[in-house]
Amino acid sequence: MNKLSVHPLTGSCGAEISGLDLANVSDAEFGIVHAALLDHGVIFIRDQDITLDQQVAFARRFGELEVHPIVDGMENAPEITKVWKPKGQSASFGTGWHSDNTFQEHPSMGSMLYGKTIPPFGGDTVFANQQVAYERLPDAMKEKLDGLFAIHSASEAYTVEGTKEKFDKKTAITYTWDESIMNEVRHPIVRTHPENGKKALFVNDMFTLRVDEMEPTESHELLQTLYQHCTKPEFCCRFRWTENAVALWDNRLVQHYAVDDYQDYERLMYRVTIEGDRPN
Ligand code: SIN
C-alpha cells in the first residue's frame, strides 16, 4: 500500500485520504486521519472493502456510537442505519442542509457513511464548513450572534409530508415514534469546537426552529440570512461517491446535504454516528 497522504479538495472543506486500509489503521495513521478531520471537516477514503463490523470498529475509535432515537437501525446492529433508496423512489434521507441530530441535548459528534451501491451519476453529498462560514461573517453580525441561542427539535423534520409512510414501515428507511420527537433543546448559535478551538455557526434548516427569546419575524429573518450565508459554494465541497468509498465528517464543524437527483437508480450506504457533547 502507498504511503498515507491527505489531499485537500477545496480551499475550505474536505480532503481525500489515500494509502489507508480502514481494516488495519495503526495509531500513527489514526493520528493523521484525526488531524485531517479537524482541519478539513470531512474526509473521504475510497476503495475500502470492509465489513460492517470493521466500519463500526473504526468509527468507535472516535467515540461511542449512537442508536438513532427515531430512524430504525439494522436488526442485529441497531447502531447502523441502512441508508437505502431503491430504484424508482425519491431519496428521502438527509436531503436538506443539516448537521446530524442537533435536536438532541448532545448532538452527534461525527458520522461515517460507507457507500456500497452507487448510482451511475447523481447521489452526491455536499458539505459546508461552518467554521469558515463563521469567520467570513461581517463583524457586526458576529457581535449580534454573540450570546444568542437557538431552539432545535425533531418535531418538524420528522412530521413533514412523506414521514407517515416511514412510521408505517412502508418505505426502505423506516422510523419508530419516540416521545423525544417533540422535545425542544437550546444550543448556542455559535459553538466553539472543543478540539480545534475555532468558532462555528451552529444552526440548520432541518432542525433549528427559532432563535430563543426573539420575536418570530426577526428570528425567521435572522435564520434565513444565516442559512443563505453558511452554505455558500465557497464554503462547500461536493463528494462524488464510488463503490466502497467512505465519508467521515465532524458535525461540530460541517453541515451536509444529500442530493436527490438519481430517481431511476438504487443507492445503498451504511451510516453510523458517534456520540457528541453539549455544544458550548
Ligand atoms: C445523511 O444525511 O447522513 C445522509 C447523507 C447521504 O446519504 O448522502
Instruction: Output the pLDDT for position 129.
Output: 98
Q: Given a cut of 90, is residue 131 above it in pLDDT?
A: yes
Pocket of ligand 1 (CB under 6 A): 83, 93-94, 111, 113, 125, 256, 258, 269, 271
Please compute the mean of the pLDDT values over residues 250-274 and round it to a whole number.
97
Instruction: Output the pLDDT for position 214.
Output: 97
Q: What are the residue ranges spanned by the domains of the chain?
A: 5-274
Summary mean pLDDT of the chain: 96
Q: Please report which confidence band the pLDDT of residue 130 belongs to, taking 50, 70 and 90 as the band edges.
A: very high
Q: Given a cut of 90, is residue 212 above it in pLDDT?
A: yes
Q: Given a cut of 70, is residue 112 above it in pLDDT?
A: yes
Instruction: Output the pLDDT for position 161.
Output: 81
Active-site residue flag, 98: yes
Q: Given a cut of 80, is residue 91 above it in pLDDT?
A: no
Question: pTM here?
Answer: 0.97
217's CB contacts (< 8 A; 6+ apart) are: none
Task: Give CA–CA dist 258/234, Å, rounded.
Answer: 18
Instruction: Give the 3-state DSSP-derived string for 129-187, with helices as H, strands as E and coil as C.
Output: EHHHHHHCCCHHHHHHHCCCEEEECCCCCCCCCCHHHHHCCCCCCCECCCHHHHCCEEE
Contact 108, 274 (CB under 8 A): yes
Instruction: Output the pLDDT for position 162.
Output: 79
Q: Given a cut of 80, is residue 17 above it in pLDDT?
A: yes
Catalytic residue among 40, 68, 187, 256: 256
Residue with cell 500513527: 28
Q: Closest ligand 1 atom, CA of 269?
A: 7
266's CB contacts (< 8 A; 6+ apart) are: 84, 85, 86, 87, 117, 119
Catalytic residue among 68, 98, 152, 252: 98
Task: Give CA–CA dist 272/195, Å, rounded.
Answer: 21
pLDDT tens column, 223-251: 999 999 999 999 999 999 999 999 999 99
Q: Given a cut of 80, is residue 186 above it in pLDDT?
A: yes
Task: Give CA–CA dist 39/270, Å, rounded.
Answer: 24
Instruction: Output the pLDDT for position 101.
Output: 97
Pick from 70, 25, 27: nearest CA to 178: 70
Pick from 81, 26, 21: nearest CA to 49: 21
Lowest mean pLDDT among 103-107, 152-156, 168-172: 168-172
Instruction: Output the pLDDT for position 1.
Output: 66
Pick from 64, 82, 61: nearest CA to 267: 82
Instruction: Express as a percent the part of the chain with pLDDT over 90.
Output: 92
Instruction: Give the 3-state DSSP-derived string for the chain, with helices as H, strands as E and coil as C.
Output: CCCCEEEECCCCCCEEEECCCCCCCCHHHHHHHHHHHHHHCEEEECCCCCCHHHHHHHHHCCCCECCCCCECCECCECCCEEEEECCCCCCCCCCCCECCCCCCCCCCCEEEEEEEECCCCCCCEEEEEHHHHHHCCCHHHHHHHCCCEEEECCCCCCCCCCHHHHHCCCCCCCECCCHHHHCCEEEECEEECCCCCCEEECCCCCCEEEECCCCHHHHHHHHHHHHHHHCCHHHEEEECCCCCCEEEEECCCEEEEECCCCCCCCEEEEEEEECCCCCC
**Pairing state between β 42-45 and 15-18:** parallel
Please compute the mean of the pLDDT values over residues 172-179 and round it to a whole number.
91
Q: Please report which confidence band the pLDDT of residue 152 belongs to, taking 50, 70 and 90 as the band edges.
A: very high
Domain 5-274: CATH architecture, name and number where available: 4-Layer Sandwich (3.60)
Report the nearest-CA residue for atom 7 of ligand 1: 258
Strand-pairing partners, residue 18, are 5
Catalytic residue among 40, 210, 252, 271: 271
| Ligand 1 geometric centre to CA of 252 (Å) | 16
